[in-house]
Amino acid sequence: MILAIIKIIIAYVLFPAISYLLGSLSFGLIVGRLKGVDIRKEGSGNVGATNVWRVLGKGPGAVVFALDVLKGAVPALVFALIARAIAGVPSWKMLGIVYGAFAIFGHVYPLFFEFRGGKAVATSCGVFMVLAPLQTFTALMIWLTVLLLGKYVSVASMAAALSFLLMVLILYPSRPIEWRGVLSRMQASLYPAPAVADARVPQGKTRDEYEQTLMGRDKLLMLLLSLMAAGVVFYRHRANIKRLREGTEPKIMTSKADLKAAEAEKKYGKERLARAGSRKPVNREALRAMSKPKKPDQPEGEKPTDEKPTDEKSSDEKSSDEKPAAPGASADAAKPAGEESAAADKPADGTDADQVETEAPLGELEEIPTDELEEDDQDKKDTDTKGLPQ
């Protein structure tokens, strides 16, 4: 009697707790700390393999993905087989479904890291690779296809979660399969009937009926687990869905510069960033010179000459110096030389030279000069207050 209670505690209490603790190991956060980076403060802020890939590179991202898959596969397979041998449960998949659910829950809400975990995509993949390999392979193909076509990891993950739920509903067997045809042989080899001892068959039922009952129960549990996993994936991707609607979601394996550009686009706006990206970030004098209106009678190869020699004056200038100012003359003649040069830097429409969009070939920029935008704001304030009296 005591031995039977101990077996029940091991199978239904100890192994679920160990599965949850194993799922609570956020390998993305651990690898990030080994690299000296808090992955929750970089990129999208997620501890999953995708964000690690973006921030730390392909190697750490691949390591985190493999470890997240393993922490879902080990409870669903190894722990289930050990518990089945200890407790004598006829269907190990029932235990694998329970342990896999605890591992997924631990990944989403880890005990060791303030209950801030990942999105359960890789861990769910590890669980379902053991329990439903055919459906998992189909979902992976759909994930890869959507990723290659749309370039969004979040969209591919949600599509794979939904397709896996449908594949479980359609292809997961609810009764023993006969070896007929290629597909049925594949299903029969992947989903064998539970090993039921004659002594465990309930009275009033045959062996085939009891096996069918067990497989029907396993399919129901698989449907519930896949529904839970799909719900968790969609819920954890709610921020990605919002960014998809706003058009700011980063695409596949986005670099650090692209993530910075997306954050700057959200902060400054698309139009202003487009204007900032059309000029060089450092050579502002060249931009002012290019934005000046070109004289119609001047050839393109010659540079504009704004000043004439001071030692010689033409007859027209001498006559203009002798003539008194007309009553309707503009007040521009009375401006100091510094203000005239500042006015010459502005185009005819009165806008600031830094804001003029030009089609001159300034070259491709490796990253958007977001640090120049704040300097432009300060320059605008200085320009506006330059002509005010002291």
What residues contact 383, with CB distance under 8 A and at least 6 apart? 342, 352
* Domain final residue, candidates 231, 254, 277: 254
Query: What sign does the CA torsion over 120, 126, 127, 129 have?
Result: positive
Cα(372)–Cα(370) distance, rounded to whole angstroms? Answer: 5
Domain count, the chain: 2
Query: Hey, what amino acid is at 346?
Result: K
Q: What's the predicted TM-score (pTM) here?
A: 0.63
- Clarify whether residues 278 and 241 are in a common domain: no
Q: Give 40-89 pLDDT, tens digit per residue.
A: 888 777 888 888 888 888 899 999 999 999 999 999 999 999 998 888 88
* Domain final residue, candidates 209, 229, 254: 254
- Clarify whether residues 155 and 260 are in a common domain: no
- Clarify whether residues 118 and 246 are in a common domain: yes
Q: Is residue 388 part of a domain?
A: no
Cα(226)–Cα(167) distance, rounded to whole angstroms? Answer: 10
- Clarify whether residues 109 and 133 are in a common domain: yes
pLDDT value at residue 358: 40
* Domain final residue, candidates 254, 269, 302: 254
Domain boundaries, position 272: 255-290+355-378
What count of Cα atoms within 13 Å lies in the side-chain half-sphere of residue 296? 0
* Relative orientation angle of helices 92-108 and 15-23, to the nearest 10 degrees: 40
Q: Is residue 242 part of a domain?
A: yes
Q: Are 68 and 96 in contact (CB under 8 A)?
A: no
- Clarify whether residues 22 and 100 are in a common domain: yes
Q: Is residue 272 part of a domain?
A: yes
Q: Is residue 209 part of a domain?
A: yes
Q: Is residue 316 part of a domain?
A: no
Q: Is residue 322 part of a domain?
A: no
Measured at the CA of 95, the angle between CA 206 and CA 23, to 5 degrees, comes to 165
pLDDT value at residue 280: 42
Q: Is residue 216 part of a domain?
A: yes
- Clarify whether residues 227 and 270 are in a common domain: no
Q: Is residue 326 part of a domain?
A: no
List the chain residues with pLDDT less than 50: 279-284, 287, 300-301, 303-304, 306-368, 390
Structure token digits, residue 281: 């970030």
* End-to-end Cα, the chain, rounded Å: 97
**Neighbouring C-beta atoms of residue 149, cutoff 10 Å:** 10
Structure token digits, residue 98: 């329970």
